[in-house]
Structure 1
């Protein structure tokens, strides 16, 4: 069970790094499609700045998840507790994004984080 949790949370961390790359370095066409936004909007300077800022948050969050899994020398109990906080954050942000941006966010963020929370609870 712990190995499944490690794999899932690592994938969630990598997903956030991928989202960061798309938000910061992605072409406006790809950003418009991924985030269900008009091309004209994501091509504006202010939107690029906002997406870049959001990308930094996603990237750092992904790094924190990966660091929790592989770098921080803590007990399994402490690691699971901290990961629970991180997954609750992903779930909450996913709910907000799913309701306000695109429904795909429910599937991409809420479902994996909910499964991770369940696994943490079962461990």
Structure 2
């Protein structure tokens, strides 16, 4: 069950790396569709910079989660993963309140499932 738990946590990490790719490199049409934003807004140079900045955070969060899985074990890893999954959930709730309701399902729900698995099945 521990391997399944780490696999789900890794999927959360890969999701954030994928989101970073969308935020930083996708075409404006794809970004507007993916993030429920008006196309005109996404094409604005200031919005492009803001999305790329947000992409850096998401990408590095994903990489950080993967690095934690690779470099730590036991109780230390469990505490780190609990903190990181809580962080993702909090950010998803904030995003759902301020940006798009679907964020809670697309980012928050996988992190919640991972958190539950870490709490109950990772030793």
Task: Give your verdict on TM over 0.5.
Answer: yes
Q: Please tell me whether residue 90 in structure 1 is matched to residue 88 in structure 2.
A: yes
3-state SS of the aligned residue for 2:37?
coil
TM superposition shift of 1:8: 0.6
In 2, the alpha carbon distance for the partners of 1:50 and 1:21 equals 14
Aligned equivalent of 1:75? 73
Which runs of 4 or more aligned residues in structure 1 lie more than 2 Å from their structure 2 counterparts after TM superposition?
Answer: none
In 2, the alpha carbon distance for the partners of 1:22 and 1:9 equals 20
Q: TM-score, normalising length from structure 2?
A: 0.94
Aligned equivalent of 2:114? 116
Instruction: Please tell me the root mean square deviation across aligned C-alpha atoms, in Å.
Output: 0.9
Q: Where in structure 2 are the equivalents of 1:1-123 lying within 5 Å?
A: 1-70=1-70, 72=71, 74-123=72-121
Structure 1 residues 79 and 9: alpha-carbon distance in aligned structure 2, compared to 1, 3 A threshold = same
In 1, the alpha carbon distance for the partners of 2:32 and 2:41 equals 8
In 1, the alpha carbon distance for the partners of 2:55 and 2:73 equals 30
Q: Which runs of 5+ in 1 are unaligned?
A: none
Q: Which runs of 5+ in 2 are unaligned?
A: none
1:61-96 CA distances to partner (integer Å, 9 max, x unpaired)? 0000010112x1x33111011011000000000001
In 2, the alpha carbon distance for the partners of 1:97 and 1:37 equals 13
3-state SS of the aligned residue for 1:42?
helix
In 1, the alpha carbon distance for the partners of 2:2 and 2:15 equals 20
Matched positions, count? 121
